[in-house]
Each structure stands twice: as structure tokens, then as C-alpha cells.
Chain A
Amino acid sequence: MNTTLQPKKNKTGSYIAIVCLVVLYAILFVLDNFVTGSSMLMLMTVLRKGAIYSLLCVSMNLLNGFTGLFSLGQAGFMLIGAYAYSIFSIPRDQHDTVYQYFGGGAIKFSIAEEIGKLLGENAGNWLGAIVAIIIAGVVAAIFAALIGIPVLRLKSDYLAIATLGFAEIIRAVFQWNGLGVITNGSNLLRKYPTFADMKIGSLSFATVFPFLIVTVCIGIIVLLINSSYGRAFKAIRDDEVAAEAMGISLFRHKMLSFIISSFFAGVGGALLAMFQTTVAATAFTTAMTYEILLMVVIGGIGSVSGSCIAAFLYIACNEWWLRFLDKGGIGSVSIPFFRDGFRKVVFSIVIMVIVLFFSKGIMGDKELSFTGLVNKLKKRKAARIEAAQAQEEVDAK
């Protein structure tokens, strides 16, 4: 995950990164197809969800950490993405079941099927999913552009509360039965293609697929951050007035950052919809935004690799490693406070400790870098050689 993150000044780093990614995909592919078992199921859940949340965290970090805009609208854009994906992907013959209260819905096609007709079913499945995901992002970005025009004029905490408000408005609108023919009102959307449908022949790509999408997206965000636009974002974060004085158009760059961040939030929402197999607007509450924000803080505000690490850690602890806290004890030993919900309490205390005492998070604003690692190793090697040479000289004398 954390391999594509650094500006590649020398090529070694990028080669290592590419090799690592390929190895990662290969491992995931093997896990998808040839390893089974009940504990594997948990691992796969953590991997998929962790990948999706890394993307969501990085997209939030782009806005909050790199541009300094404290936005709390993430859940709203995720909702838009999730809905856009599922609305355009529900197969034609499932419309009547899904939209049973709204006469089969208004949108009478599925992207995957339309592409499938042209290029064959397999290509339809893959391309259809990818196109629908991109559409999900674009729809979220369009909403962001509309919302951004009024909202981005506001300063820090007013911006936070206004974006939070927009997320709530979007949630209400999507639950409204008046739009039921499109959004299915307050009912679930389901039966659309999920990760399990990502196959070639009998080979499953259920975990490789989200990782592919997520690495591409994060890669794009990293390229953006390292471009001149990214430097402008950081300048705005550090000092708005100074940035404006240097000729950076504040509104244009804020807007750009907001739209791009929302695009990837939409993509993340679409992936989350695929992961969950059903979508309901009620689930996209402010609590979801808070959770992502806390992950960003744990990873370090302004660090892409930190966000990824934190997302995986958070999901793994939440879904898997800390489960024993909810179960009344370890093995047969019962421990008094352990019951349902204790995991969350411990978790939130840990988060508070991080927020209060380790406000830099795991990575601060630094990045995990292969180039850096390589350089460090090289330096150490050089030092060793030098020491050896010095020793030889001494010996020669």
C-alpha cells in the first residue's frame, strides 16, 4: 500500500515499490483463490475494508491535512458514491425486486450489462464495475462543486459545521420517498455486482480488485500532492494570506482540493457499497465521518502512508484483534468488564490518548519511503566500507 507514496528522485525506490506491489497482488490473489478457512475470512474482511478505508482516509487527508480545510462532509459524498454505483449497476432483471415499491425504478439499464452486450460478459463485468465506480466519483465531484461554491468561502469551524450540515441534508434527501424511483426511498439498494462477482473464469479477484482500485487512486492523489497544485495546497494550509500574496488563487485551489477529495470519497463509497452488498442512506451518519477523521489523526494529519497504516490498524483492531474484549473473557477465563461494547470503550480511550498526548499520530507529516530506506541502508553500507578502509589503512601502517 505504502509503496507508491514518495516523489521518486532516484529510480531504485520506484522499482522497489513496483516489485512490492506486484508481490502484494500475487499474495492477495493466492489468498483469494487457494487458501480457505474460517480465520481467513476475517483476514480477507480486514484487508478489503482496510483498503477501502485507506482510500477514504487519504481523500480526507488531502482536504484536511494538505489543504487545511476542516471539512466534515465525507459521509455525504460517500453516500452519493455508493448510491450512484448501485443505481447504475443493478442488473435489469433485478429492478422489479429491488424497486418493488416504486414500480421497478426509473433507470432501466445497468452499465455492466450494456458493456457486456458489446464486449462479452467477462469484460462487461469488469469494465462495468470500473465505469460505474468512476461515475460514482464523478457524481460525488459534481455535488462537491455545487456545494463548494457557497461553502468554501467559510472559515475553519464554520466550514466544518456547514459541510456536516450538507452531509445531513444529502442523507435526508436520499431517504425521501419522493425520489424513490431513483433512490428507492428509505429502502435498501441491493443485488448489484459486488467484489465476489469480480472473476475471470473460475478465478476470484475479490480482494485484488479493491486493492487495484485503491492503489491507483492513492497513486493519483500522491502524484497530485507532489505536483505544483499540491505545493499550492500546502501553502494555503500553512498561511492563507501569504499564499494569496504569492499569487495562488485561494478559491480555485480550495475548490480543486474539495472536488478531488470528494471524487475519491465517492469512489470509496462505491467500493464500500460493493463490500457491504447492500446500501442504505441511514448508515452514512456523521459518526462515519468522525471515524474516518480519527483514523486520519491516528495516522498523522498530512501523511498519506500514515493514513493507510492507521486505516488498516483501525479496521484490524475494530473487526478482529480486539473482538475478544466483547466476549466476556479470554478463552475460558472470564474477566468482569468484558462484555458487548467494551472493545469500543477501550478503543475510544486509546484514541483520546493519541489525540491528547501523541497529536502527531503514527507518522506525523512524514512519509514512509522506500527511497529513504534504501538511502539509509546505502549510507550504513558506505559507513561500514569507510570504517573497513580506515581499519585497513591503520593495519597497513
Chain B
Amino acid sequence: MSLKLNYKKISPNILEACWPPEIRQSTLMEMMIMKKRIISEWYEELWDVNLGYHCLSLHFKDHFPLNEVVSKLENFSSEKFQQEAIKRKRWFIPVLYEGKDLQRVSEITKIDISDIVKLHQDKPYLLHFYGFMPGFMYLGGLSPKLFAARKDRPDPVIEKGSVAIGGKQTGIYPMDSPGGWNIIGKTPLTLFNLNKQPPIQAQPGDEIQFHSIEKTEFESIQKEIANHQFELKYEYI
């Protein structure tokens, strides 16, 4: 089976391979397999390989031979993608659902706060890619019932660990930042940690499962983190 990819040479150093413009899990998995191949083929020649929802970019250190690179990518994509398995993990993220904008989200969605909390952790979310700021996950799978427009006036500071809904997306602020998303909760975890290599553990293709915790548990996890006793929980999927 061959993938029908659209190749765009963006500059003498940058090539994008694009899948059909849709948000799909299968696209993400194909992109991850392709990315693995790309890195093993051109590790020395590349600055970076980045993902969006449907575009994979190859950023070369220098000019690259277009025909040669595209024909190799075509070869990669003609191989049987199904045979390749990417090891995927499901990460469990504890959340204290007491965000200051829960009432606002309840008014927009016309759903009770307790049901918002239930719905938000009902299913795992798919991590498509990182963008917007260091360690910020683009998560797919927010229930349309929870779509809630961003605020007209962004908050000057949204605290690190805040779990929020912005339009059709949900996410976790990895560091303090201004932002217009509706804050529904907070995780005690430090997801983006520059003292660790890599600074963040979840990979595109992994899943994020939120689960509700009480204030006492939030505080005990904070203590465990401070004492370096906390281990982020995950399972293979």
C-alpha cells in the first residue's frame, strides 16, 4: 500500500510531506513511522523533523537534493506500514478539577460542573504533537459537548500545570504563560522539566488519560515530587 503524500519544497533547506488535511489517528501513526525512517536515513544532515496534524517537515542543515529525498520518502511510504509497530504509552495525569473557569465553561456548554469533570476524563486523548510553547501538547479527542470558546481577554498569567479548554482543544500549560483558555483544573505534576533528558516524556502517538484527584492527594503528590519519590504512571497500549 502506498501513501499518497503531497511534497512541498518550502526553501532550499526545508521539505514538507503532507497527508490529506484531516485530524486522524492513522495519519499520526503513519507520520511517526515515517519520522523514524527519516531520522535513521538523514540523522547527520537534519536540524530537525517537526509534526503538525498532517504535515511532517524535514529541516536540513544545508541544501538538499529534492528528487533523491522525495524518491526515498516514496520508497518508505510504499512499504507496509501496518507491519511496523510504534511502542505507544498511555500516561496517567492526576488533575484537581477546581479551575476558576469551570463556571464559565458550564454556562457555555450548559453542562453541570460535575458532568464536565466526568466527561473530560471519560476517554484518553491522543497526543498529536508539541507546539505553541515548549512542552505544550496538542491533544485530540475533546468531546464536542465541552467545546468552549477562548476568552476575549486573555489572563496575564496561567499557572504551570493548569488544565484548560480552548475552543475545540484541551491541554495542559507546561509553564506559566499568558493565555485565553478556560481553566478547569490543575495537575501537580511538572511535565516539562529541563533537568531531565528528554525534558518531557510523552511522545506523539501516546495517549493522555486524566483522572480526578482531591486536594489532599494533590498536596501529597506535590510532597512526593519535592522528595523525588513520585513516578509518573503509564502503561503500554
A and B are interacting partners: no
Interface of A with B (CB < 8 Å)? none
Interface of B with A (CB < 8 Å)? none
